[in-house]
Amino acid sequence: MTLRFWERMQFSVLLAGVVVAGGLWGFIEMAEVARDATPHAFDTQIMLAFREAGRPDNPVGPPWLEEAVRDITSLGSMVVLVLVTASAVFYLLLIGWRRQALVVLVAVGGGQAISSLLKIGVDRPRPDLVSHLVNVQTLSFPSGHAMMAAVTWLTLGSMLAGIVPGRASRIYVLCVAIFVTLLVGLSRVYLGVHWPSDVLAGWCAGFAWAMLCWLVARHLAPGTAAKAPLGSAQDQRSDA
């Protein structure tokens, strides 16, 4: 039983390492696209696919869809993520899980700092191919909504997956976190405020940073609930 547990943990570490490496590679590739003087063909084709043919001001779909997409994109907004993160951190502190609270703070706070620095470093303007359906002020690359949704929801989702009973429940929680992250990114393209490469870069950077934080937390606090995101519910309960 112990051998099987360590085999699962080693696989989790390997999987997290693959996500980090793949995310960094994907981000570098998208950064090259962002630095081109003219938009890449796949950027323009995908963005125009979300608009009616010959009418770049009108998104595809029924009128209610546009409002629904605005609601979805708010799941990656600064206000919502700050509220969710603060609620999670205070709850973790309330039940005495200080290490987990620190992991969440470092992951989300560090992710926001990295996102801001990357925007300044690449300095890509917002797309002007179609009309913007929401107001935006910051630079375009990478998508902050996509990146911070990945960081926040994946961090919280993986932590929750470590304490819910049953493998199916853990998979479900992680799938929901990933699904929300994907919806937020797609909403930014639909609303016309990001190139698809901005969103892809945000996803890559966000997933890589979230997994890197998990790996560091597990290394610094082996044998504690800090490693619970990809561990078992029984480990989490015994550490508590």
Q: Return the active site residues.
A: 145, 194
Residue holding tokens 């989490």? 236
Q: Which residues of 131-152 are buried (b: 16+ CB within 10 A; e: fewer)?
A: eebeeeeebbbbbbbbbbbbbb
Q: What is the dihedral of CA 199, 205, 206, 211, to 10 degrees?
A: 150
- Distance (Å, whole) CA 85 – CA 95: 16
DSSP, residue by residue, 136-166 = --S--SS-HHHHHHHHHHHHHHHHHHTTSSS
The CA R_g of the chain, rounded to the nearest whole Å, is 19
Contact 100, 159 (CB under 8 A): yes
Which residues on neighbouring strands pair with residue 59, listed in sequence order? 51
**What's the token pair of residue 22?**
């793949």
**DSSP-based three-state secondary structure for 16:** helix
For the chain, percent helix, then strand, then coil, each to nearest 5? Answer: 75, 5, 25
The CA distances from residue 6 to 3, 166, 170, 206, 235, in Å, are 5, 18, 18, 27, 12
